[in-house]
Amino acid sequence: MKRLRWELLNALRAIGLAGWVGLGLLLLCAAVWWGFAAPLLDEARQLDADSAALERRVRERAATDAPVVLTAQQQLAEFERRFSDEKSLTDSLARLHAAARRQGVQLDKAEFKWASDAREPLSRYTIVLPLKCDYRALRRFTRDAVRELPGLAMEEVSLRRADAKSPLLDVQLRFVLFVNKAG
């Protein structure tokens, strides 16, 4: 036992500074592996297992759910059901105004134009909004308005800035609100 200990100490003295640095780096790599890499590998294995389970569930659900085939008339009727009717126009305008208020956009005035063609199933309600706001508020307002009102489409946007350094924009928005005809 003494001889083995003597040979080990002699070998450790013989490796020198470079050997000690190498041994230290080897120990550091082992610590990093067990401290960082091994947990990440475990997490990756868990994520792979979760992904496989989700794929199985999707395949099982797809096998059990028969696709619903609609005729063209049924598809058109489903599409038209998404639009509000003329009776709820006031509610739609209130929701548009609420979306503007939430984003800090002041609606001081607006122009409205009603257009209805007897051959078309939907009527058009054109809304022109002159605004003065910053670009970020404008983006948030238009995003919220289109999300809240499924029949709302943006037809035209006009942006002007009075001064290059001014954060406010002079904006003119033209929306078209499509509504089902009363009837």
Is residue 130 domain-resident? Answer: yes
Is residue 106 domain-resident? Answer: yes
Please state the domain count of the chain: 2
C-alpha to C-alpha distances, 64 to 41, 55, 60, 164, nearest whole angstrom: 35, 14, 6, 60
Residues 117 and 173 placed together within one structural domain of the fold: yes
Residue 82 tokens read as 């998404």
Torsion angle defined by CA atoms of residues 87, 92, 93 and 99, in that order, rounded to the nearest 10 degrees: 170
Residues 103 and 18 placed together within one structural domain of the fold: no
C-alpha to C-alpha distances, 29 to 19, 23, 24, 37, nearest whole angstrom: 15, 10, 9, 10
Residues 156 and 96 placed together within one structural domain of the fold: yes
- Per-residue pLDDT tens, the chain, 183 aa: give them: 788 888 877 777 777 778 878 888 988 888 888 888 888 888 889 999 999 999 998 888 877 766 678 888 888 888 888 888 888 888 999 999 999 999 999 888 999 999 888 888 888 999 999 999 999 999 999 999 999 998 999 999 999 988 888 888 899 999 999 998 875
Residues 12 and 53 placed together within one structural domain of the fold: yes
Are 169 and 133 in contact, with CB atoms under 8 Å apart? yes
Residues 96 and 161 placed together within one structural domain of the fold: yes
Residues 101 and 47 placed together within one structural domain of the fold: no
The DSSP code for 105 is -
Residues 38 and 103 placed together within one structural domain of the fold: no
Residue 121 tokens read as 């199933």
Residues 54 and 95 placed together within one structural domain of the fold: no
Is residue 135 domain-resident? Answer: yes
C-alpha to C-alpha distances, 122 to 80, 86, 151, 176, 177, nearest whole angstrom: 8, 10, 10, 11, 10
SS3 111: strand
Q: Which residue segment(s) compose the domain that 38 sits in? A: 2-62
